[in-house]
Structure 1
Amino acid sequence: MLFDTLDIPESLLAAQDEGKLVVFAGAGVSMGTPSNLPDFAALAELIAQRPLTDLEKSRLDHFLGELKAEGRDVHSLAVEALNRPSSRHTRLHEEIVRLFERPEHVRIVTTNFDPHFTTVVRSVHPALPIYSAPALPRGGDFHGLVYLHGAASGPARDLVLTDEDFGRAYLTEGWARAFLEQLFSHYYVLFVGYTLTDPPAHYMARGLPTEPQPRRFAIIHEEPARWRRLGVGVIPFTVGAGNDFSSLTAGITRWAQVTRGSNFWIEDQIIQLLARPDPMALTPEEANLLEWSLAHDRSLPYFVRNARGLPWVEWLESRRLLVPYFDHRAAFDHWRQRQIAAWIADQLLEGPHERSFELIRRLGGRFSRELQRQLVMQLGDVTLPVEWTFLLVREVESSDQDAHYVLGKRLHVFVEHNLPAFWALFRHCTAPRFMVDAHGFGERGSPAHLRVALAGDASVLWSVWNEAVVTRFAEIARPMLGLLLVQLESAAELARSINGEADFIRQVTAGRTRLARMDPDHHHESEPNVLIDMLAQVVAHLAKSPGGLAEAEIQGWLHAPGSILRRLGLHALAESTETEGAKKIAWLTECVARFAPDSLEHRLAVTLLASLTTPARAETAVETAVVPAAPQGLPPLADLLAMDSARLTRVLRVNRIEPVDALARLRELDERTRQNPALSEHVLWASLLARVSWRRLPPLQRDALITILQRPFALAAHVRDVLRCLFSQDPLEKDAREAEPPASAAQKAQLFAMSCRIWEAIRDQEMPLTPAADQTDWISLALNDGVGTYHLVRFWMQYVSLQPPDHANPTLPTEVAPILADICTRETEVARRARAVLVQDIRFVMARDPAWTTANMVVLFDFDRIGDEAWVAWRPFLDHGGLSRPLALAMLPHYRAAQPRMLRAEEEVIGHYLGHVATIMVHVRPAETAAWLQALLPALSERERLRWARLAARDSEGMPDQAQRELWDAWLGAYWRDRRAGRLGGVTLSLTSAEAAIMAGWLCALPEVFAEALELVMHSPAPNFEHEIFPWRELRKSSLPVRAPVGVVALIEFLLRNMEVGRVSHESVSEIADALPRLAILRAPLLRVAEVMHGHSWVPARDFRAKIEREFPLSQ
């Protein structure tokens, strides 16, 4: 790319963007005004204090070595010669530093000894590392300023001047050679200010490896052939009269200005160029600037917002930049390409259309998927020529819901304004085709297969149909009938070719009892069954319209071989207003006799026939024809006892029984059973108990129910039904929505007594032991196991909660404690499930009786004592339980001991465990937290460490200032300092960029320690917010903008420079700025924030900058 007279290769520009560029600065950088320092040869003459011969100039390092051998202190003399008070850094020093956008991207290596780069770097990046030989960093992983051959500001003896010095640096000790070898293999290199006659360039050139694709370039004005032989690409510049190097400075200045200059300046430059009437008249440098703007995230929006009209698209064509956008195989994965595609679509559709069509023809007539999608998205414009629709619709992907939505809008427009175009587009969208279904009919793991679908999206078609097509039935119903029948037959033909007729019928009629039964909320997918719904409406309209359907047409459908057409004929017959009732009955009777008895059309014919002969039972005609009718009203008890199980179930299902009525039958059954004990096993007991709930009975009826259920035979034969009847609806829980009052004290006692008897009856019931305790959802198991342990334990917890607590001596009620102890110790499957339910409430039980809980329940979590059986407690507790400080302290040893097993468990368990650990560390802060962290975090994967950090940050929200300080001093501050240093205690544990992003968000929850934490965050690895959302709103709502305004602005600037555009809430940043005090110290950083936000293409950025300039003073 051309910058003034310098043509910088694209590979160097890409390396600059990626932070992979290293600039080597030679003597030529410091020779101009106002630096005025000598090059290597002139420095040798100053040391020798005489002019040098040509031979001496050709061997400067040897010459200086000879001077040193003669006793001359060449190193000190060199320092004296370079320490000129009048020497200042040049513009070139500044512009080289400006080439680097971020401090961590700055990589400048100089063989000069003067301090001018140090002066510039310290003014721009105060914290940037500066290295001086021989103490060099690793060449493959460094950033900063490197004095490769020493610095005049350091010990004079470290300057590399003589042949002995160079031999030590590049051969015997080799620190310069090792540094360069790593550097050249990792980075792109640009040499500035060098000639190959200088010893520094000569020695460095020896270490240049050969590469097929050059990654090293030199800006030179002489000896291009020698540089090329060394594998160095040449970027020439011209030296003016009087040894004028100003063109070099001008080129690098322009390079830095364009690539790293103000976003506002860049936009202004682009706007000026785009205002030119003829794009083809741009100069090469101007064209290069626009091309560069298209290739960079920060400048692209300036182009697409301001470039208007087809001439600019044609200019892109002339630069061969349009080719990918007209390649149907091209896939774009960068937002920049999608933005350009959207812009191209805008210009093409704005026209002139003939010119757009000609450009499309020149480029092959096909579109990339992204450009095609962008074009389709604008087809809703009624002013667009019809040709655009049919040019684009052929390539719409079935999965592109947005494109199908726009096509639906286009159909809407056509049906009202252009019927020929409507028919063409509707025919295309309803055309059947094959689609690959990877999972059969939604069953995961089933083999992929072909199915029949429509070209268009059926949901969109159905919406357009109901909104626009139905209203035009008077003129389009008849041709629509023919089109739909053709499309349906085509779909059937496709289906028959792969799956057969039966499969197609199942696909398009699934869930339909009859053809016209349509669920108004049914979600059509891209399936042919939408054609059935459309046909049903068209046929209904024609059947009700005079002369709409001929009887012969209906008869033809009724005698067709296909099930769908027969059902269409039945639907037409049912809707027909011109066919007489007697004829309908005759036709339907003939259909019932002719259709296969198990077919859907037979069922429909029966339904229609029944509706004509028994109107009062029309909705249940099918049930009447197929299933023997159930009696209306509940039969006497004797009749119920005489029924078999199936009939009894049907009778109870048909007849809605209120709990009071079921109780009345239960009382009769109880009386009969006491007279005839054999009835205790009758299924009617379970059926009636299932329809009675203690909670739903009036108070007087509850005692009667208890009396019945206390019978020994009830608890012996039907204990599970009794349990559900009494406890499944939380009998002690208050509910203001229910008319019945809560249980009285006497009723509570009755229920508790029953619960004890039920527990005794079920606790030792034989059940297979549940294997894999660590993988079992114990609560779901207890809820659905048919025993009822869940409801029983929940009742006991409600019972305890209703007892007034004794705060002075917290203990469980004496009647409850033995039952819960039995649950904790009994070794049966029923007891295991009850334990799982009980540990959900361990925090509540701990509050009511700490000593009992510690002795009886906490031990259930001890893997060392009971092995994997501890999972019965851990799984439900991690899934559903809660923590309190006393509980956390009591269980702390078990949390520590459980860690190895937890980290081998499934992901969900690990997540819940880490959530508990984070809560304990943040709110309880036990003394051993630091040691626990050192044992836990290195054992976690990065994903799990991220999860722990998010959970800990969440738990920190809303803490009082004092608690924040205690947390920071207890362990969090030391943890952050360790992680920034790449360790945790004595273990190496590098802080990842994703963790750094979470820590940056964590700041918002810690206003009390914000200043200390901010310093650590800003000197940690650059955060990566790809999978994190920074809490901008929380920062805006917090007290931080007022309490720490300087830190908040520094944090915002830091975040904006490390965050992708889509992750920034620019509006929140603006609102945070509104909350800041109007201090002069905030003006400069806020203006930099405005600059970055403009680079993010935030449209109000100019107004934001103006507001900062207006409201924040220049000085206080």
Structure 2
Amino acid sequence: MKIKRVVFPEALLNALRDGRLVVFAGAGVSMGPAGLPSFRKLAERVAEGTGESIAASETDDQFLGRLEKDPGVKVHKRAADILQPDNLKPNALHRNLLRLFQGTSSDPVRIVTTNFDCLFEQAAETGGLFKNKPKVFEAPALPLGSRFEGIVHLHGSVKEPEEMVLTHRDFGSAYLTEEDGWARRFLVSLFAKYTVLFVGYSHSDTIMTYLTPSLPPDGGEKRFALVGRKSNDLDRWRKMGIKPIRFPQENRDDFTRLDEGVKGLAGFRRRRLLEWREEITRIAAQEPLNINDEDSDTINYALGSLDLTRLFVNAAESLEWIAWLDDRRHLKRFFAEGNLKEQDKILSKWLANQFIRNHFNQLRSVTSKHGRRLNGYFWNILLQELALAEENTVDPKTLSRWVHILMNHVPVDVDGYFFFKLMKHCARAGEFQSLLQVYDTITVRIVSFSSDFKQSEIDSLDNTMREFWNTCLKPNFQHIAHTLLERTTMRLEKRYAMAWEEEGNRGMDYDSSFREAIEYRDQDEEPNGIDLLIDVTRDCLEWLARNDSDTAKLWCDRFAGANAPLLRRLAVHTVRIRQNWSANQKITWLLEKFDVYEIMTLDEILRMVADVYPQASSQQRQELVQAISQYQAPSETSDNSSVQSAYRQFNWFQWLHRSDPDCSLLKAALDRIQSQYPQCQSRESPDVNYSYSAVNLSESLGYAEKLLTKPASEWLPDLLGYQPSQEEERLSGQSRGDLLLKVCNAAERNPSWGLDLADAMAAQSEWGSDLWEWVIYAWEREKTDLDQDSKRRILAYLRTNELHQKRNARAIAGVLNRLIQNSDAADFTEWPDPLHKIAIAIHPHAVTVEDKSTKDPQDRDWFQDAINHPSGKLAEFWCHSISHWYRQQTETPQELSPEHRRALDTIIEDHGIPGKLGRTILVSWLHSLNYLDSTWTENHLLPLFDAQHEDFPCAWDGLSWGHFSLEIAELLQDKLIDALQQALDFPENSLERFIKLYVIAMSYLINDAKDKWICKFFRHTQKKPELRHKFTMQISHLLRNLDENSQREWWKVWLKDYWNNRLQGIPSPLENAEISIMLEKWVIHLQGVFPEAVSTAVQMNPVNLEKCSRLLHHIDQSNLIDCHPNDLARFLIHLGKSDHLPLSWKHSPNVPRKLLKKGLPEELDQELRELILKIEIT
């Protein structure tokens, strides 16, 4: 880029922008106006009065070394005096070299000088150049070259004359010896990391002979030197691996253009966003052919910056920019795999938005040039722009061309919504081939078993396609039905083939199994994956059956011979709805193609036969009856295959008899079977799939509402007898468990019905039935409305010894909890004795209930396991009982009642898993139990928290669900700190709750930022930084609830010092995730110390906040704008320095605009206006 007649390479400008540039300043910088000598002149002046002069074979450093040795000149002292004349001041070049840097944490000063003067330091301290002075380092005490910030005097300074590198012995010590070599070590790591710019050097300088050996052999475009045009030694610079940057000169001693070039570069670097907007808008608004080289360089540079790229795309409208950008390789990543840079993403959106609708040829030219392989992100942007285009704004031909390009190379990650919108455009435009191309792309994903496609994405596609099917495909059947059916069939066949390869069972088709009926029914309101393609195939066949019957017959015959049961079902369905076939033709086709007992197609067969049988001829009826009568059940499936065969036939005939009650042929068949097998009786809904032993209650009972249509006593025989086999469960999808759940739901909706069922079971002494457990579960549910009489009836049953079984323990414990929690004072007066007796009676059964967890004790979620186990529920019951008892006492009790103590002691003394689960519940009540009986609590519960105790994990997990008060924190503080290391092995959720306890206790008890609470936490979490993030987040949760006085107290006692320590890496450096939490959630909840909090916050990196950050909203709801406008502005300006502002800020511009009205200082006002611009172009 040409700046002030100097062409600065793009690599150098990028390094300067990205904070990767180091300036090397030589003697030439301090000559000129500053008047200091070059190294040769310095050597000559040191020798003045000695009569010695530099020999032709001597270098400057060798000469100084000779002077020092003989005649013993104090070379270092004389040189220091010479370099400190009176009124020595920095010149403009010193200031402008410093101005290349912002002096901030993200863009610190990085200058290395081989000069001995301190003019850079003087320049940095004057003129308000930096808010904070740069650090200064002097040889030999140098920082690491790969991570230094500040001004480095590589060869020392006049402040310490004896450390100045002047003689050949000094240079040898600094660069050549293994023991020292401190300058060489510094330079090697510096050159390896940073881009460097040499200013004020000649290639022949003595110093360069020592510097250049430290340069890596392959520096690429990382080393530059500013060299006058009158210099004739460019090749020598290049041989040293340094690229010369030439500045204009009138003669070899003219360096004015050097000053101007550096000043221009510094001004370029410090150009504000508002200034950039003016410049870039001026250039981008032109035709690219009309801009000059300097403007062209400006745009090239701008496209390396997020904000400047946004400014460019906001102004550029000319079509010619496409070719201009491609010629300069700005678009090359759009046609390659991998992640795009953020600038590329902005450009891709601009390209699509500006040119996709009306400039197809130009964009196609670029894509063709690169082989039409689009980057996944760019592909999605093009799809979105096409899909979201307003109706009729895309030419049909252009739309078709884009669909062809996009559908030929589809990435994995695609949003189905945009497919749908694109297809709607295709349908409206009449581009049916394009429409089918998009349909093919979507259906490939719907039928895929590939792990590349997420199930959520497939579900989204399916739901999208269902809407599209009804709005785009169906209305255009006359154009697409034949092709659509062919393509959809191919997808279904492929799906079946892939499933068969995985399962190895040709007869099984899970897609068919999960589809209850081919015809449209309410079941389809919640589609299951492949349902859409089934619907498409069905509707295509139905359309053909109405409009092209010959083709429909060919398809039905093809499907009837397919292996896939789903296709066979579709064939039967289609024949059923055909209007131009007689009943006889349909039955003949059916008997020719199918076994009438074929399980996977039986649903459609039954429906078809029920439709056509009444119209069939006598002969066709007889053939169908004969086919039904030939059925024989496999002998291996039942002990009595003849009964099963008769039952299946009986149901078939009963099904037909319902469709034609007057058919004598059917009546004779039914009478014949019933005479041989009286147990075969007519049913309301006969189902050919089920055997006699499994009365299809799932059909006849349906949902809980159907159970409530008859008294519970009338249902009891069927409820007790429903025990389907595995095969019957598979076919019906209904198990014994499903029935029990329906019984529970019915008893919940109508408690009287549930109690009547209990009465009926008790009357028949059916105490061992599993129905009891589910009826009792209904009594536990809060939705079950129980009046006082119902509660008494329930208590009567729960006292029954016959129900005290392991199976019922959990349900009974749950009911006890509900009754005790919902009881009022009157209830508790009446019920404690019976409730306690039931709890004591059920306890031996509760502890025998199997622990189903297979996890290691350290990995369990103990509290969740406890509240779902009868032992945990009983412990919870006793805690609630204690609470009720305490409130009923006229005098405050000092200890537990004997009965309650015995109950809790029983839990404490149980050494099995049920005892652990019970104790988990007890410690969740630690605050209440300790308040009531501290002696019992300290003796029995506190030891559980010791790291060596076997109950350690369950104790801490239980406590994390209870009330954690100051008293408990004081009681457990040592145990809590000691537990930290072992707690790190807890499961994620349990560990997060433990950290919450830790932070709460810390907030109660911490003394200062060096307290053991902090030190030990960071020591133990050293290898788990994510726990520090949780620690930081928990602090934010507590801050949110503090009043301003408490905020000030926290800040004074520990938070301020803790935050400052973290900035210094104590006890560990801050990570971006922590910084994000602090910026988003700490600062605005520290309004009591807001100025100080902001001053601390702006010392952190301005990391990206969450896209949906609510920070501006929360600020707008606070009084910060009125109370602390300047500090708030500083805070927002700092946040605005991140690469990506939250998208939500674009919709919340009020806060910065309100601040502008508060009379901010000029600098803040200017920076805030830049922030507003940055928000606008985000």
- The aligned residue for residue 1000 of structure 2 is 919
Query: Match of 1:124?
Result: 129
Matched, 1:319 2:328: yes
Which of 1025, 1040, 1043 aligns to 1:960? It is 1043
> Which residue of the other structure, out of 1045, 1057, 1064, is the alignment partner of 1:981?
1064
Relative to structure 1, is the Cα distance of residues 524 and 457 closer, same or farther in structure 2, using a 3 angstrom cutoff? Answer: farther
Query: Structure 1 residues 1055 and 696 mapped into 2: Cα distance closer, same or farther (>3 Å)?
Result: closer
1:225 and 2:235 are equivalent in the alignment: yes
Counterpart of 1:1109 in structure 2 is: none
**1:464 is aligned with what amino acid?**
F
- Partner secondary structure for residue 412 of structure 2: coil
**In structure 2, what is the Cα distance between the partners aligned to 1:553 and 1:303?**
61
Q: Which moved more, 1:180-189 or 1:1025-1034?
A: 1025-1034
C-alpha contact (below 8 Å) 1:763/1:828 kept by paired residues? no
Q: Find the aligned partners of 1:639 and 1:1035 in 2 and give their Cα distance.
A: 64
SS in 2 for 1:1098: helix
1:136 aligns with 2:107: no
1:775-824 CA-to-partner distances (Å, cap 9, x unmatched) read 22334434555xx3343333333334444647965654554333123222
Answer yes or no: is the 8 Å Cα contact 1:433–1:491 preserved in 2: no
Q: Which runs of 5+ in 1 are unaligned?
A: 445-452, 674-678, 736-740, 1101-1116
Relative to structure 2, which stretch is displaced further, 140-149 or 424-433?
A: 424-433
Does 2:428 align with 1:416? yes
Matched, 1:942 2:1025: yes
Matches within 5 A, 1:879-890: 880-890=961-971
Instruction: Sort the Cα spacing of 1:207 and 1:624 in 2 relative to 1 into closer, same or farther, 3 A.
Output: closer
- Of 100, 109, 116 in structure 2, the residue corresponding to residue 106 of structure 1 is 109
**Deviating more after overlay: 944-953 vs 376-385:** 376-385
Contact between 1:861 and 1:874, CA under 8 Å: does it hold in 2? yes
Cα 1:442/1:623, change in 2 over 3 Å: farther
TM-score after normalising by structure 1: 0.82
* Pairing 1:516–2:519 present: yes
Change in CA separation of 1:618 and 1:274 when aligned onto 2, cut-off 3 Å: farther
Q: Closer, same or farther in 2 for the Cα pair 1:343/1:834, shift >3 Å?
A: same
The letter of the residue matching 2:236 is: R
Specify the alignment match of 2:342 in structure 1. 335
> Unmatched 5+ residue regions in structure 2?
612-655, 662-681, 701-708, 725-734
Matched with 2:665 is none
Native 8 Å contact 1:106 1:143 kept in 2: yes
Query: Which of 1039, 1053, 1056 is 2:1133 aligned to?
Result: 1053
Q: Is the 8 A contact 1:766 1:829 kept in 2?
A: no
Q: In structure 2, how many angstroms separate the alpha carbons of the residues matched to 1:943 and 1:1028?
A: 22
The offset of 1:773, in angstroms, is 2.1
In 2: Cα distance, 1:753 partner to 1:723 partner: 12
Question: 1:291 aligns to what?
Answer: 300
Tell me which residue corresponds to 1:720.
809
The question of 1:1091 aligning with 2:1174 is answered no
Find the aligned partners of 1:645 and 1:811 in 2 and give their Cα distance: 53
The amino acid across from 1:754 in the alignment is K
Aligned to 2:827: 744
Per-residue deviation, residues 1095-1116 of structure 1 (Å, max 9, x unmatched)? x46339xxxxxxxxxxxxxxxx
What SS is found at the alignment partner of 2:819? coil
Partner residue in 2 for 1:406: 418
- Residues 323-376 of structure 1: per-residue CA shift (max 9 Å, x gap): 443x3x432332212222223334442544444444544444443333333222
Residue in 1 that maps onto 2:8: 8
| Cα displacement (A) at 1:214 | 6.4
Task: Give the CA deviation at 1:191.
Answer: 0.8
Aligned partner letter, 1:411: M
Counterpart of 2:224 in 1: which secondary structure? Answer: strand
Residue of structure 1 in register with 2:570 after alignment: 568
Within the alignment, does 1:1006 sit opposite 2:1006 as a pair?
no
Moved more, 334-343 or 38-47: 38-47
Cα separation, 2, equivalents of 1:619 and 1:411: 47
Q: CA deviation at 1:921?
A: 0.8
For the Cα contact (< 8 Å) 2:1105–2:1141, is it kept in 1? no
> How far does the alpha carbon of each residue in 1:816-845 deviate from its partner, in whole angstroms, 9 at most, with x for none?
333123222333443332222333333343
Question: 1-side partners of 2:507 and 2:226: how far apart?
Answer: 72
> % of aligned pairs identical?
21
**Match of 2:648?**
none
Is residue 707 from structure 1 mapped to residue 796 from structure 2 by the alignment?
yes
Please give the TM-score of this superposition, normalised by the length of structure 2: 0.78
The range that moved more, 1053-1062 or 184-193, is 1053-1062
* C-alpha distance in structure 2 between counterparts of 1:939 and 1:712, whole Å: 53
Matched, 1:146 2:226: no
One of 952, 970, 981 as aligned partner of 2:1053: 970
Amino acid at match of 2:1177: V
Alignment of 1:124-273 (within 5 A): 124-125=129-130, 126-152=132-158, 154-155=159-160, 158-161=163-166, 166=171, 169-170=174-175, 174-205=181-212, 207-208=214-215, 210-211=217-218, 213=220, 215-221=222-228, 222=231, 223-241=233-251, 243-273=253-283
Q: 2:453, 2:25 → 1: CA distance?
A: 67
Counterpart code for 1:511: F
Matches within 5 A, 1:629-1028: 633=710, 640=717, 644=721, 646=723, 658-664=750-756, 666-667=758-759, 670=762, 681=768, 696-715=785-804, 720=809, 723=812, 726-727=815-816, 730-734=818-822, 744-762=827-845, 765=848, 772-785=856-869, 788-803=870-885, 805=887, 811-812=895-896, 815-864=899-948, 867-878=949-960, 880-925=961-1006, 930-940=1011-1021, 941-984=1024-1067, 989-1001=1068-1080, 1002-1019=1082-1099
Query: Is the Cα–Cα contact under 8 Å of residues 129 and 143 in structure 1 kept in the other structure?
Result: yes
SS at match of 2:112: strand
Q: Deviations over 1:998-1023 (max 9, x none)?
A: 44443333333444454444446776
Partner Cα distance (2:498, 2:1039) in 1 = 63
State the Cα deviation string for residues 58-92 of structure 1 (Å, max 9, x = none): 75445566777768776666566555666654333
Deviation at 1:917, TM superposition (A): 0.6
In structure 1, C-alpha distance between the alignment counterparts of 2:458 and 2:980, rounded to whole Å: 54
Q: How far apart, in 1, do the equivalents of 2:459 and 2:1063 lie? A: 56
Check the 8 A contact 1:4/1:285 in 2, yes or no.
no
**Alpha-carbon distance, 1:687 to partner:** 7.1
Could you list the per-position Cα deviations for residues 491-536 of structure 1 after superposition, in whole angstroms to 9, with x for gaps in the alignment?
42685488469669725435111112464543565x5x42211233
Q: Look up the equivalent residue of 2:293 and give its one-letter code.
A: P
TM-aligned CA deviation for residue 1084 of structure 1:
0.8
For the 8 Å contact 1:918–1:948, the answer to whether it is kept is: yes
Q: 1:48, 1:441 → 2: CA distance?
A: 81
Would you say the 8 A contact 2:155–2:165 is kept in 1? yes
Shift in alpha-carbon separation, 1:574–1:376, aligned structure 2, 3 A: same
2:94 maps to 93
Structure 2 CA distance for partners of 1:523 and 1:17, relative to 1, 3 Å? farther
Residue pair 2:1149, 2:1172 contacting (<8 A) in 1 also: no
Whether contact under 8 Å (1:637, 1:669) holds in the other structure is no
Contact 2:374 2:409 in 1 (8 A): no
Decide whether aligned partners of structure 1 residues 979 and 365 sit closer, same or farther in structure 2, where only a CA change above 3 A counts: closer
1:291 CA displacement: 1.4
> C-alpha distance in 1, partners of 2:458/2:1076?
46
**CA 1:602–1:57: 2 relative to 1, 3 Å:** same
Whichever residue aligns with residue 981 of structure 1, its letter is: Q
Deviates more, 1:892-901 or 1:561-570: 561-570
Q: Is the 8 A contact 1:89 1:117 kept in 2?
A: yes
**1:622 partner SS:** coil
2:1108 and 2:1142 in contact (8 A); partners too: no
Separation of aligned partners in 2, 1:289 and 1:1077: 34
The 2-side partners of 1:330 and 1:687 are apart by 58
> Among 530, 533, 536, which residue is 1:534 paired with?
536
State the distance in 1 between where 2:466 and 2:715 align.
55
Q: Is the 8 A contact 2:285 2:317 kept in 1?
A: no
Most deviating of 640-649 and 375-384 = 640-649
Aligned length: 1056
1:1104 match: none
Specify the code of the residue in structure 2 equivalent to 1:972.
Answer: L
Once the two structures are superposed, residues 403-453 of structure 1 have per-residue CA deviations (whole angstroms, 9 ceiling, x without a partner) of x43342232233233154456546644775998745599999xxxxxxxx9
